[in-house]
Amino acid sequence: MRDSMSKAASPWEQADGDQYIQSISRKIPGYQLQYDLMDTLLTARLDKREKPRLLIVGAGGGQEILKLGLNHPAWSFSGLDTSQRMLQAAQQRLGVAGLLDRVELHHTETSTWNCTRAYDAATCMLVLHFLQGRTNKLALLRSIAARLQPGAPLCLSAICGGPGSPEWQIQMAGWRLHMLGNGIPEEQWKTFEHSFGVTSHPLPAAEVEELLEEAGFMTVSRFFGAYLIDGWVAVKALER
């Protein structure tokens, strides 16, 4: 959910994980809808599996695991994040919800995580735009694909577009009004607006789709769009 793979602080993150959780849904248009759609897409793919295990990349805060864990008592999860503070917030939320017996949380990067298990599905929500450069984004997607079974689904969302373009400016103008209308201070909006090219590095949606295919995913299809945020579902290519 948060930038789990970069060292720099995210403009989404507030003083602590709890504040982040409280404010993120007011900043992200359609925040809950993203996770509702993610749930239905994964359910449709995994419903006939007995005890699927899911890989959650960027698990800090715990939103994906909370959503999926409460709806699917047979599912279990491995969550990765490089922010210890955000993982602590996730652990607290998941503990209150009674889900920790089905969850492993790891303070690590995906690419260096020592795990030989092949997962039945993965999520990478609101993470990819924090990685700088096409090479790093591709490496993350490949590291996710390497940990999935052939045919396993991935749900991914990210901020997309070309900062400074006329299209970008139109969307950002609307996004600003959305945040301010939800009680986000102008100062926080400006911090977010100035984060692009510093801590956030979006690519056009078409390039993200190309990266997914290059990383070993197929049947890439879009399931969400709000202002500059796009969401996709794809499946790991079958082995030949």
* CA distance linking residue 11 with residue 66, whole number of Å: 23
User: For residue 166, what pLDDT is reported?
Assistant: 97
Give the pLDDT score at 23.
84
Find, among 28, 106, 41, the residue nearest to 67 by Cα: 41
Instruction: Give me the pLDDT at residue 47, please.
Output: 87
CB 228 within 8 A of CB 159: yes
What is the β-pairing status of strands 76-81 and 103-107?
parallel
**Alpha carbon distance 207, 80 (integer Å):** 25
- What pLDDT shows up at residue 14? 38
Sign of torsion over alpha carbons 210, 212, 216, 222: negative
* Type of residue found at 24: I
pLDDT, position 48: 85
Helices vs. strands in the chain: H and E counts, helices first = 8, 7
**Residue type at 20 in one-letter notation:** Y
What's the confidence (pLDDT) of residue 16? 52
pLDDT given at position 21? 66
SS3 content of the chain, % helix, strand, coil (to 5): 40, 20, 35
Q: Report d(CA 28, CA 175) in Å as an integer.
A: 9
Q: What is the pLDDT of residue 165?
A: 96
What's residue 15's pLDDT? Answer: 39
The whole-number pLDDT of residue 158 equals 98
Q: Answer left, alpha or beta for residue 98, where phi above 0 means left and psi between -120 and 50 means alpha.
A: left
Residues of the chain under the 50 pLDDT cut: 1-15
Tell me the residue type at 23.
S
Query: Where are the strands (E) in the chain, listed by range?
Result: 53-57, 76-81, 103-107, 121-125, 153-159, 217-226, 229-236
Q: Which tokens hold the place of 75?
A: 């599912």
SS3 (DSSP) at 230: strand
Q: What phi and psi values does residue 160 have, to the nearest 5 degrees?
A: -130, 155
